[in-house]
Chains A and B, each alone.
Chain A
Amino acid sequence: MSPKKLNLKDKYKLLTRDLDWEFSYEDRKEAFPYEEFEGIKITDWDKWEDPFRLTMESYWKYQAEKEKKLYAIYDAFAQNNGQTNVTDARYVNAIKLFLTGVSPGEHAAHLGFAFTGRQMGGIGARVAAQMQSIDELRHIQTQIHAMSHYNKFFDGFDEFNHMHDRLWYLSVPKSFFEDARTAGPFEFMIAIGFSFEYVLTNLLFVPFMSGAAYNGDMATVTFGFSAQSDEARHMTLGLEIIKFLLEQHEDNLPIVQKWLDKWLWRGYRLLTLVAMMMDYMLPQKVMSWQEAWELYFEDAAGALFKDLERYGIKMPDYTDTIKQEKEHLSHQAWWIFYQYTHAAAFHTWTPTAEEMDWLSEKYPDTFDKYYRPRWELAAEMEAKGERFYTTGLPQLCQTCQIPMAFTEMSDPTQVSYRESIYNDERFHFCSDPCKSIFDNEPEKYVNAWLPVHQILQGNCGGGGLDKVMEYYHLDDGVANLEFEGSPDAERWKEWKGVA
C-alpha cells in the first residue's frame, strides 16, 4: 500500500506551523531571550498570518527554477560581450556604487533576518524571516555574479568586500544596517522588513533596475527581475509585521511609531546615493530623484500610511523636511563625491551641457540658482588643468555618517549644523532628525566608527593618504579620480574606435 498523500493544506500546516513544539522542560523566555527587552508586547503568536504561504519545499523549487534562467542569461551576456552594449562607460560607475554600497547590505539583511528568524517567538514569523534571510543571501550572490563580468573590464569592482568595512562613504550603508542589526528583533523587522523593504524599496530597486534597462545593462536588469518576486514576498512580510505588532497590544503603538520616524529618516539618508545616481550618474536618465520621490513615496507611501491610520499610526516625522530637500539632495551629494573622488572607488565627472539643461528643467527652482555655478566653477578649474580635488577630510554626521554637506532649507547656501553634548563630549549632526535619533540613544551612537576620525586616530594604515589608500585596497590612479582620462574611459574609446 502506498503512503497516503497529504493534501496541500495539511502539508502546509505540517511544514510550517507544525515545526514548532511545546516547551516541556525549558523556560520559553530563556529560549527567546530577545523577545521582551524592546517593550513590545505579544499576547498571541497564533494570530500571525503567514505572509508567504510557502513551504520550504516549494520555496526551494521556485528559487531553483529562477536561478537556472538567471544564470543562462548571465552566460549569454558574457559570451556576447554585453559590457560593450551599455550606453557609455560612465554608466558602469553606477553599478560600482551598487556592488560596493548596496550588495553588502543584502548580506547584512541576510544576517539580520537570520537573527529574527531565530529570535521571534512565533513559528510563522520565524519561518518567514528565515526564508527572507535565504533570499537576501541569494541576492548578494546573484549580484556578485552579475557584476563579475564587468569586473573583467572595468576598475573598482574587485575589492568591494574589503572596501565595505573601510571606505568612508561605505560606512553610510554599513552603519545603517549595523544600527538595525544591533537593535532587538522587532526594531529590526520594522527598520528593514517594513520601513526599508516595504516603504522605501521601490526607491532603491526601481531606479537601479530601470537605470540598467535604459542604459543597456542586461545583466543588472536580469538580476533585478529575478529578485522581484522575492521582493514582493518581503513586502508582504513587512506589512504583516507592522499590522501584527499593532494588533497585538495598544502599548506597541508608540514604540512602533518611534521606530517608523527613525527608520524612514535613516533609510532616506541612505538613499542619498540613489538620488545622485539617478540625476548625475546615468548617461540615459530614467526620471529625476524628485520625480521618483513623489511617485514612490509621496503618492504610494502616502496611501499606505493613510491605511495605517486606523491603528493610530501617523505619517512619520520629518517627511516635510524630505519633501523640501528633494530639490537639493542629489546636487549636494554628487558635489561631495566629485571633490572627494580621489578617495572613492569610482569615477566622477562634471555634467555635460545637455545634462545641465536636463537638471535645470527638472529642478527649475534650485539648479540654476544654487548648483549650476558649482559645475561652472569645476569646469573652469578643469579647463585650467586644475581639476578640483579638495584637500583635508570632511566632518561627518555622527548618525548618518555622511559629510556635513546638507544645507538649511530656509537658506540653501548655509550648511545645517546641529550638535549635542553628551557626557561632556560634543557630537555633530547634519540635521534635526539625525540629532534626535542620537539624543534618543546616545550610548548607541557614541560607538560609531566614523571613517574620518579613524583615519585621524591612525587606525587606517597610519600615516598619510597613500597609506590610507593601501588600507582601502584602492588602486590609486586607476579606480579613483576623474572619469575623463581614466583607464576605464580609455579602454572604452578603444573598443568603440574613438580617438
Chain B
Amino acid sequence: MTIRALRDDYHGEFKDSLEKFGGAQLVYLGWDKHQMFCSSRAFPLPPEMRFQELLDNVMPEAFGQHPEFTQIDWNKAQWILDNSAFQPDHSKSLTELDIGHKSLLRLVTPELTGYKGAGI
C-alpha cells in the first residue's frame, strides 16, 4: 500500500517533478567532511551543462566561501554520484554523465581535512 487514504484511487501530486523547473533539472551538491556548509545545496541546472562548466561556475557558488576551496585539485577530486563512485569526463554534459533530476553529487577531497582538520 502506498498510502492509507479514504479513497483507494488517491494519488499524491509529484510536487517536484522535472517539468516543474522550467527546463532546468535539480542537482544537489555536497562536499564531504566540510561541514562549514551545514548541508548539501540544491541547484537548478541546464541538463546540457558540461561538467567543466559545473566546476567553473557552480562549484564556486556552492563552496567558494571555504578557506580550502582554492586548494582543491580538480584533477584529483573524487566524486560520489547517487551513492556510487563516479569518474566524470569533464567535457560531457550532465545528461551524458547520467546526472539526473534530483541527483546527489558529492565531492570528496581526502587530502583536505577541513578547518583545523576537524572535518569542517
Residues of A within 8 A of B (CB): 33-34, 37-39, 183-184, 187, 332, 335-336, 339-340, 369-370, 373-374, 376-377, 388, 390-396, 403-405, 407, 413-415, 417, 419, 423, 425-428, 441-450, 452-453, 456-458
Contact = CB atoms under 8 A, between A and B. Distances in A.
Contacts of B116: 373, 376-377
Given A332-B38, A392-B61, A404-B39, A449 B15 contact: yes
B20 interface: yes
B90 interface: no
9 contacts: A37-B4, A39-B4, A184-B4, A426-B82, A441-B4, A443-B12, A446-B12, A450-B15, A457-B21
Interface in B19-77: 20-22, 24, 26, 28, 30, 32-33, 35-44, 61-62, 64-65
Residue of B11, B17, B39, B82 ringed by the most chain A CB atoms within 10 A: B39
Nearest to B24: A456
Contact of A443 (B3, B16, B37): B3
Nearest to B4: A38
Contacts of B16: 425, 450, 453, 457
Contacts of A419: 82-83, 104
Contact of A426 (B102, B114, B120): B102
Closest 9 CB pairs of A and B: A413-B119, A447-B12, A443-B3, A392-B41, A403-B39, A426-B102, A443-B12, A404-B39, A373-B118
B103 interface: yes
Residue of B5, B61, B100 ringed by the most chain A CB atoms within 10 A: B5
A419 B102 CA distance: 10
B33 A391 contact: no
A393 B15 contact: no
Contact of B28 (A34, A428, A449, A457): A428
A5 B103 CA distance: 72
Given A34-B6, A405-B39, A425-B102, A415 B12 contact: no
Interface of B: 1-6, 10-17, 20-22, 24, 26, 28, 30, 32-33, 35-44, 61-62, 64-65, 82-83, 100-104, 106, 114-116, 118-120
A37 B5 CA distance: 7
Contacts of B64: 391
B35 A456 contact: no
Contacts of A39: 4
A103 B24 CA distance: 37
A374 B120 contact: yes
Residue of B1, B116, B119 ringed by the most chain A CB atoms within 10 A: B119
B34 to A, nearest CB: 9
A178 to B, nearest CB: 13
Contacts of A388: 36, 65
A403 B38 CA distance: 8
B42 A453 contact: yes
Nearest to A332: B38
Contact of A370 (B40, B83, B118): B118
A339 B38 contact: yes
A378 to B, nearest CB: 9
Contacts of B101: 425-426
B104 A413 contact: no
Contacts of B39: 336, 394-395, 403-405, 415
A392 B115 CA distance: 20
Contacts of A339: 37-38
Nearest to A423: B14
Contacts of B1: 441
A377 B120 contact: yes
B15 A456 contact: no
B30 A415 contact: yes
B42 A393 contact: yes
B114 to A, nearest CB: 8
A442 B82 CA distance: 20
Contacts of B36: 374, 377, 388
Given A374-B36, A413-B35, A446-B15, A393 B104 contact: no
Nearest to B60: A391
Residue of B17, B38, B106 ringed by the most chain A CB atoms within 10 A: B38
Contacts of A33: 6
A335 B12 contact: no
Given A392-B41, A456-B26, 9 more contacts: A34-B6, A426-B100, A426-B103, A428-B104, A443-B5, A447-B15, A450-B15, A456-B21, A456-B24
A336 B41 CA distance: 12
A46 to B, nearest CB: 26
Nearest to A372: B118
